[in-house]
Amino acid sequence: MIRRGTVLVVVAGLAALLAAIGLAFIVRVREDSAEINLAVREAQARLMLMAACTYVLESGRIGYDVDPENGAVHEEGFGWIDVRAIAAQDQPYRVGPRDQQRQALFSDAPAVDGDGDGVAERPAWPAIGGVARCPMHRLRRPPYAIASTAAYNPIGDDGLPLLANPDPQPGVGSTWPVWAGAPSFADFAAGDPRPIAGSTGQAWFRCHREDAAVFVLTCGAGATQGFASWDEVVGAGATGEFGGDRTLFADVQAAEIRRWYRIEWSAAIGSVYDFHFVDNEIKSADHYLLHPHNATQCIRGRSVRSQIRRPNCCGTIRWVQNLATPPARW
């Protein structure tokens, strides 16, 4: 009886030891999972800095839809500080973006309710003081998407498809009106804005235009969609995105990672190409021709250097300041 009791005590002790080890392992795995999740969110937030800088570069140059109801009216800008404003008499047109006639592509009039009191107190983007909020979910097909297929020619290519029909093709299919239901250019331009499941609520960024060429970038990883507060959600009429539940928004906000940066845009692009140093290799008139970029249309045996082939037409980021605390306005 004593021996049996001893075995029972030993077995019970071993079972308790194994249970304690298992519990410790589960707790450690849970802690590691939380740390990995934190690292992933930190990485997502930092990736948004690159996305936000790219957005600032492109949005000052590519332009805006002047009429939201008519996307065809799309005006090109000339930088956040208009590169044409050189002389003293040009200073009233210094702050961009502006169109070819130097008309502002923005309005300084208050148009956005940022605190939910029903009164607009800040202008709309891209005016100074405006904010662009950009949730970064994946679209089923972005606007003007180009298919990633390398070769459309079914003829054998000996394993080297890079030279088979290299011209870009629309991601929506052929734009030729072969039949009534064929995709049109409007389909190609609009894309499919529906988000891909599982890509929403992961990361976002927002840009606050602090000065003519200075921006405060907020980069976040979480599900608030870039809203600064619940009051801003109310002002935007977006309470339905959170089920009208302020507590839910507070919970996802508390779980987020947010990082703040201040950047300055510059129109300088540096020495990005050698067309200024070709030593009369090409004629001046030929220099300004719009040579096609499609690989099958290139003129062989001669240079096609031109202004349009510069890799950078949007300017550069002069400096990036990491802000330890959130600024007063972002």
8 — pLDDT class (breaks 50, 70, 90): confident
| Confidence (pLDDT) at 294 | 52
Give dist(CA 14, CA 7) in Å, integer: 10
3 — pLDDT class (breaks 50, 70, 90): low
Examine residue 170 and say whether the peptide bond preceding it is cis (omega within 30 degrees of 0).
no
Query: For residue range 192-243, what is the model confidence (pLDDT) as tens digits?
Result: 888 888 888 889 999 999 999 999 999 999 889 999 999 999 999 999 989 8
Most confident of 62-66, 95-99, 229-233, 292-296: 229-233
Give dist(CA 182, CA 27) in Å, integer: 57
Query: For residue range 121-132, what is the model confidence (pLDDT) as tens digits?
Result: 999 999 999 999
Q: How many residues does the chain have?
A: 330
Which whole number is the average pLDDT over 146-159?
63
Query: For residue range 235-290, what is the model confidence (pLDDT) as tens digits?
Result: 999 999 898 899 999 999 998 989 999 999 998 876 545 544 455 555 555 555 54
Instruction: Give ∠ CA 243-329-81 in degrees, rounded to 5.
Output: 115
| Confidence (pLDDT) at 179 | 45
